[in-house]
Structure formats: C-alpha cells, structure tokens
Amino acid sequence: MNLGDDPMIEYREKAAAAESVAADYLDGQMHIGRSFYNHPLEDDCPCVKAECGLVAEVVDGCEEHSTREARTIRQKHVAQACPALCSTPLGHDWETVWSPPVGSQALATMACRRCGETGYQT
C-alpha cells in the first residue's frame, strides 16, 4: 500500500459489492425480520413486506434492514416456505423428508406437518 492510498476506499468498494450481493439474494427469495417475535420493527419501516409481515425486499434508506447498517437479522425463511402460504391458521410447520438415496445422493423435500403441502427440494 502506498502512503497516499486511502484504506477506506477499498473498504467502501467491498461493502458496496457485498450489499449488492445481499440485495440480489434477498430480493424475493428470503423473508427477513429484525424483531424477535412477530414483526413490530418491520411494520414501521418502508421496505416491501411479504404476506407473513417480514421484509421481502429492502428499499434504499431503510435503517433497519440495509446491509450497510450491519444489524442482526433475528428471523428468516425462504419465500417458498413462508408460513403465511399455509392453508391452516397456524402457518406452515416444515419438516425435511429424505428420499431414498440414488447412488451417493439423497434429495430432501420440505413438507408441511399441518397441511401436507410439499415445498422446495434441496
């Protein structure tokens, strides 16, 4: 590093790249929340909400969910496994159901204990 180099420039570039990756990952694929229970912090922020009340898309300027703020995410789930999509009042209660191995691999499918709906495979 040269004496004239500003180490903060590299830090800011890396932080911007990380925020871009995080925003792409979150955008419609994950629902996140900072509240321990329910979603009171999410109710008061400008972000786009999912049916469950958690954030589905972070908007610029949100002080609660922006990755630049580096705040703790206390709740999350994959959008495909959103509890609000269950036909029962309590929401989805997912369990992992393993298929018989084919060769050296076994597929895991998510299934709701309450409504029987099957979800995504891993």
Amino acid at 106: A
Mean pLDDT of the chain: 76
Cα first-last separation, the chain: 44
Asked whether the predicted pLDDT for residue 4 surpasses 60, the reply is no
- Model confidence over 53-81: pLDDT tens digits? 899 888 888 888 887 777 888 888 888 77
**Predicted pLDDT at 29:** 83
Higher pLDDT, 119 or 82: 82
pTM as predicted: 0.57
